[in-house]
């Protein structure tokens, strides 16, 4: 029994012990599960950044790949092709836009009076849109697109596939300017060159006094000097091709478009020379004759006497003044003997030359007056000194007389008109016999004298020691020296004074014969100094 009880006790103890072991085992088994549950969030927090980094790298990789794909077939921001903004455009879209922009393109080159236009027949003549876009995209370097993109975003819109017209343009060779094969450079340059040559043909291309003097301003000016500059063909041809390459529609000429004046002197040096020249031309005088201004001595005249040396120093010489005065006298002032044309009050038009009537300037005295005017930079008026005056001053070749006696050799008639052109007196006459070599000389003369009861004594042409004739006259009015004049001729039959042919057989030795009563009337009307015109 005891053994059984012991056994039972052992068994009971054993069960307890086992129960404790189970409990212990159960506790042991449970405890690790609690520790595992406590440590799991820590492991997740450690992997989170790695996951985020992986996601970021994936996004970057996808974005980079997308950028590579995009910029293998698209333009960067701020890209301009032929004046068309093609930023972020795909290839085909960019080509279409460039083509559209090129339709109707026309280039105008203008400035300083020069205008020339180039009107291509089609857009393909001035740009190959496909090649231009391809050149831009082919240069994109898509595998480094991020850096290129940042660079593009930070820059101003830039021309793609075409050389810039602002960066080193003067160093660009014409053949290096990007233009399509369909563009005929030679024909273009030939037409432009012809227009430039025509423009330059009117300009001297040099700096001199004549070219720098502005007559309206009355002084030398830089703008007038520059008006003689020739266009720089090479520079303009380059600018024109550059404009076409970018489809710019205008080339505006400026100072750089012209060949420099005075062997490359700067604008400041030319201006200094002009200022110095203006200091030398202070004289401004009007020359007057008969109360009328006949010439002006000012800068426009001095410019003919001014030169600039190699240092652009102006020199004014007055030696040409004598020649200038002489030319003025011959061409304008002196009218004695010149051909004149006038219309007689009865309507007959008369042209006659020769004679002694008219203006005769005193050239030597005028030179002295003008030399003083130049030395003193005189401003005002100078009366032209004369050796002989006419009644009025007019343009050379016109009527410069007042009252006059008109002797018509064809009509054999004499008329006297007052200064207003009113017929005051007239008479038939007998003039010199042309068949005997005694024709009355034609010309515009001065009535030299009026004398009564004179005896006209001829020359001794027959060499007999006696005058060929001695003719007493009551009224003597000479106009060619004291040898030929108007006078009464009582020895002429009265009928001859009404016969226009009588002078051919009964003509005088050159004088104008009048009836006695008519000679008396004229004598009382005409004045010494009046004009006497003898004409056919």
pLDDT confidence of residue 456: 92
pLDDT tens-digit map of 379-404? 999 999 999 999 999 989 999 999 99
pLDDT confidence of residue 162: 35
**CB-based contacts of 231: which residues, under 8 Å, 6+ apart?**
114, 196, 199, 200, 253, 257, 258, 259
Lowest average pLDDT, out of 43-52, 201-210, 299-308, 437-446, goes to 43-52
Is residue 487 annotated as part of the catalytic site, yes or no? yes
pLDDT confidence of residue 426: 98
CA dihedral for 254, 259, 261, 263, sign (positive or negative): positive
- For 227-311, where are the alpha helices, taking DSSP H only? 233-246, 267-278, 299-302
Closest CA to 380 of 391, 388, 369, 390: 369
Both tokens of 103, joined, read 């339709």
Q: Print the SS3 string covering 361-407.
A: ECHHHHHHHHHHHHHCCCEEEEECCEEECCCCCCCCCCCCCCCEEEE
pLDDT confidence of residue 44: 55
- Taking the C-alpha atoms of residue 257 and residue 251, their distance in angstroms, rounded to an integer, is 10
Torsion of Cα atoms, 80 then 82 then 84 then 88, to 10°: -40
Closest CA to 431 of 448, 410, 445: 410
pLDDT confidence of residue 82: 76
- For 71-144, where are the alpha helices, taking DSSP H only? 91-102, 129-138
pLDDT confidence of residue 157: 67
Other Cβ atoms within 10 Å of 351 Cβ, number: 11
pLDDT tens-digit map of 459-517? 767 777 777 788 999 999 999 999 999 999 999 999 999 999 999 999 999 999 999 99
- Taking the C-alpha atoms of residue 104 and residue 127, their distance in angstroms, rounded to an integer, is 12
Do 384 and 360 contact (CB within 8 A), yes or no? Answer: no
Whether residue 432 is predicted with pLDDT greater than 50 in this model: the reply is yes
For range 361-381, the mean pLDDT: 92
pLDDT confidence of residue 460: 65
pLDDT confidence of residue 485: 97
Angle, vertex CA 169, rays to CA 167 and CA 173, nearest 5 = 135
Lowest average pLDDT, out of 117-131, 199-213, 322-336, 520-534, goes to 117-131
For range 159-170, the mean pLDDT: 42
pLDDT confidence of residue 280: 85
Closest CA to 229 of 207, 253, 252: 207
Q: What is the largest distance, in Å, between two alpha-carbon atoms of the chain?
A: 227
CA dihedral for 245, 247, 249, 250, sign (positive or negative): negative
pLDDT confidence of residue 7: 37
pLDDT confidence of residue 121: 85
pLDDT confidence of residue 191: 95
pLDDT confidence of residue 164: 32
Whether residue 265 is predicted with pLDDT greater than 80 in this model: the reply is yes
Whether residue 532 is predicted with pLDDT greater than 60 in this model: the reply is yes
- Taking the C-alpha atoms of residue 200 and residue 193, their distance in angstroms, rounded to an integer, is 10
pLDDT confidence of residue 9: 36
**Regarding predicted confidence, which is higher, 328 or 262?**
328
pLDDT confidence of residue 322: 92
**CB-based contacts of 325: which residues, under 8 Å, 6+ apart?**
363, 366, 367, 370
Both tokens of 350, joined, read 């008369």
Q: Which of 75, 338, 405, 511 is catalytic?
A: 511
pLDDT tens-digit map of 48-77? 788 887 888 888 888 888 888 988 899 999
pLDDT tens-digit map of 10-21? 333 333 334 444
Terminal-to-terminal C-alpha distance of the chain? 201
- Taking the C-alpha atoms of residue 170 and residue 235, their distance in angstroms, rounded to an integer, is 7
Other Cβ atoms within 10 Å of 290 Cβ, number: 16
Do 360 and 386 contact (CB within 8 A), yes or no? Answer: yes
Both tokens of 502, joined, read 């009588």
pLDDT confidence of residue 170: 52
Counting residues of the chain whose pLDDT is more than 90, the rounded percentage is 50
**Regarding predicted confidence, which is higher, 330 or 280?**
330
pLDDT confidence of residue 17: 38
Instruction: Output helix, strand, coil percentages for the chain, rounded to the nearest 5.
Output: 40, 20, 35
- Taking the C-alpha atoms of residue 12 and residue 147, their distance in angstroms, rounded to an integer, is 85
Burial bucket for residue 45 (CB in 10 Å: 0-12, 13-18, 19+):
exposed
| Cα→Cα distances 91→72, 246, 528, Å | 9, 18, 103
Lowest average pLDDT, out of 41-50, 148-157, 306-315, 503-512, goes to 41-50
Lowest average pLDDT, out of 256-260, 364-368, 481-485, goes to 256-260
**Regarding predicted confidence, which is higher, 283 or 478?**
478
Both tokens of 143, joined, read 């595998």
Lowest average pLDDT, out of 24-28, 247-251, 265-269, 476-480, goes to 24-28
Domains of the chain are: 284-388 (3.10.20.800), 404-535 (2.40.440.10)
pLDDT confidence of residue 174: 75
| Cα→Cα distances 121→106, 124, 159, 162, 183, Å | 10, 9, 24, 22, 11
Confidence label for 421 from pLDDT (cuts 50, 70 and 90): very high
Both tokens of 192, joined, read 């432009």
Do 228 and 205 contact (CB within 8 A), yes or no? Answer: yes
- The DSSP element (H or E) to which 285 belongs, if any, is strand 284-289
**CB-based contacts of 189: which residues, under 8 Å, 6+ apart?**
174, 237
Q: Which of 338, 405, 429, 487 is catalytic?
A: 487
Lowest average pLDDT, out of 93-102, 162-171, 322-331, 402-411, goes to 162-171
CA dihedral for 151, 157, 160, 164, sign (positive or negative): negative
Based on its alpha-carbon atoms, the radius of gyration of the chain, rounded to whole angstroms, reads: 56
- Angle of helix 185-200 relative to helix 233-246, nearest 10 degrees, comes to 140
Closest CA to 223 of 173, 175, 258: 258
Is residue 7 annotated as part of the catalytic site, yes or no? no
Both tokens of 269, joined, read 């040096």
Tell me which DSSP letter residue 181 carries.
Answer: T
**CB-based contacts of 334: which residues, under 8 Å, 6+ apart?**
358, 359, 360, 361
Q: Which residues pair with 386 in a beta bridge?
A: 361
- Which residue in this structure is represented by tokens 């009588």? 502
Closest CA to 428 of 446, 401, 402, 407: 407
Mean pLDDT of the chain: 85
The pTM of this model reads: 0.55
Whether residue 447 is predicted with pLDDT greater than 50 in this model: the reply is yes
């Amino acid at each position: 029994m005891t053994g059984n009880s012991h056994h039972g006790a052992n068994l009971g103890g054993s069960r307890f012990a086992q129960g404790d072991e189970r409990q212990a085992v159960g506790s042991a088994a449970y405890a690790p599960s609690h520790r595992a549950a406590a440590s799991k969030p820590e492991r997740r927090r450690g992997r989170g950044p790695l996951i985020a980094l992986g996601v970021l790298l994936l996004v970057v990789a996808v974005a980079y790949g997308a950028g590579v794909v995009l910029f293998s077939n698209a333009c960067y921001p701020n890209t301009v092709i032929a004046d068309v903004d093609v930023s972020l455009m795909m290839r085909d879209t960019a080509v279409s836009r460039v083509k559209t922009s090129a339709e109707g393109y026309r280039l105008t080159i203008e400035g300083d009076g020069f205008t020339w236009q180039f009107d291509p027949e089609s857009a393909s003549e001035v740009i190959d849109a496909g090649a231009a876009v391809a050149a831009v995209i082919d240069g994109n370097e898509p595998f480094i697109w991020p850096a290129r993109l940042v660079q593009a975003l930070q820059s101003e819109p830039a021309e793609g596939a075409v050389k810039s017209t602002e960066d080193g343009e003067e160093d660009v060779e014409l053949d290096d300017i990007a233009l399509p094969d369909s563009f005929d450079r030679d024909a273009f340059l030939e037409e432009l060159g012809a227009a430039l040559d025509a423009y330059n043909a009117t300009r001297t291309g040099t700096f001199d006094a004549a070219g720098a003097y502005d007559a309206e301003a009355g002084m030398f000016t830089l703008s007038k000097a520059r008006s003689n500059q020739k266009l720089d063909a090479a520079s303009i041809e380059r600018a024109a091709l550059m404009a076409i390459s970018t489809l710019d529609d205008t080339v505006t000429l400026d100072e750089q478009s012209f060949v420099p004046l005075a062997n490359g002197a700067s604008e400041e040096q030319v201006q200094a020379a002009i200022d110095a020249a203006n200091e030398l031309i202070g004289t401004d005088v009007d020359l007057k004759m008969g109360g009328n201004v006949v010439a002006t001595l000012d800068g426009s005249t001095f410019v003919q006497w001014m030169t600039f040396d190699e240092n652009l120093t102006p020199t004014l010489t007055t030696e040409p003044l004598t020649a200038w005065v002489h030319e003025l006298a011959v061409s304008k002032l002196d009218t004695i003997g010149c051909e004149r044309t006038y219309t007689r009050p009865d309507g007959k038009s008369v042209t006659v030359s020769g004679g002694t009537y008219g203006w005769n300037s005193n050239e030597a005295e005028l030179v002295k007056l003008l030399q003083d005017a130049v030395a003193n930079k005189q401003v005002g008026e100078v009366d032209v000194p004369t050796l002989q005056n006419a009644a009025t001053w007019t343009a050379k070749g016109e009527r410069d007389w007042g009252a006059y006696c008109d002797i018509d050799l064809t009509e054999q008639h004499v008329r006297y008109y007052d200064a207003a052109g009113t017929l005051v007196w007239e008479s038939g006459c007998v003039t010199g016999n042309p068949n005997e070599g005694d024709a009355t000389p034609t010309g515009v003369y001065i009535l030299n004298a009026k004398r009564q009861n004179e005896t006209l004594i001829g020359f001794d042409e027959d060499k007999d020691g006696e005058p060929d004739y001695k003719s007493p006259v009551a009224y003597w009015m000479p106009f060619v020296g004291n040898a030929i004049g108007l006078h009464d001729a009582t020895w002429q039959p009265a009928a001859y004074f009404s016969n226009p042919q009588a002078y051919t057989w009964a003509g005088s030795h050159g004088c104008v014969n009048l009836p006695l009563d008519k000679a008396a009337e004229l004598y009382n009307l005409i004045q010494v100094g009046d004009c006497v015109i003898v004409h056919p």
